[in-house]
């Protein structure tokens, strides 16, 4: 697999979401609640997650176990889209606990867990980091 524009956009959006996510979650914790920061970066994080999910539709891998080029990690696309819908519906209904739980789960599942899987040596980013850049594998 090569670095195509679609993969570059996908990777950039995903890395941005991984980096912004903790700040968004932190802005609503503690004694000094920062709603303006939470809201602004929350919209940015949501945009990055949408970009990652939409570009993920166009990334296909026929080398790993797949169905029409879609591997099991592609199941995160509908999960991400549905989770974002549920989170914003919860906000509209002023169900803040549901919004918080949905967004925390989405960050952990789609950013942390999926991010860990992309670092496996058999994946493109894993090969790039472990083999090309570090020469470890």
Tens digit of pLDDT for each residue in 60-119? 877 778 788 788 888 999 999 999 999 999 999 999 999 999 999 999 999 999 989 888
Full-model pTM? 0.87
Question: Which is more confident, 11 or 134?
Answer: 11
Domain locations along the chain: 5-133
Question: Which is more confident, 136 or 10?
Answer: 10
CA–CA gap between residue 102 and residue 92 (Å, rounded): 14
Please report which confidence band the pLDDT of residue 31 belongs to, taking 50, 70 and 90 as the band edges: low
Question: Which is more confident, 125 or 103?
Answer: 103
CA–CA gap between residue 92 and residue 103 (Å, rounded): 14
């Amino acid at each position: 697999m090569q670095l195509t524009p679609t993969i570059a956009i996908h990777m950039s959006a995903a890395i941005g979401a991984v980096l912004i996510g903790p700040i968004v979650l932190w802005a609503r914790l503690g004694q000094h609640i920062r709603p303006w920061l939470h809201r602004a970066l929350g919209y940015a994080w949501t945009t990055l997650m949408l970009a990652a999910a939409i570009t993920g539709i166009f990334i296909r891998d026929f080398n790993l176990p797949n169905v029409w080029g879609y591997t099991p990690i592609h199941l995160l696309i509908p999960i991400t889209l549905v989770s974002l819908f549920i989170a914003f519906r919860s906000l509209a209904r002023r169900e803040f606990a549901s919004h918080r739980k949905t967004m925390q789960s989405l960050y952990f599942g789609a950013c942390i867990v999926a991010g860990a899987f992309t670092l496996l040596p058999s994946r493109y980013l894993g090969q790039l980091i472990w083999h090309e850049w570090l020469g470890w594998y």
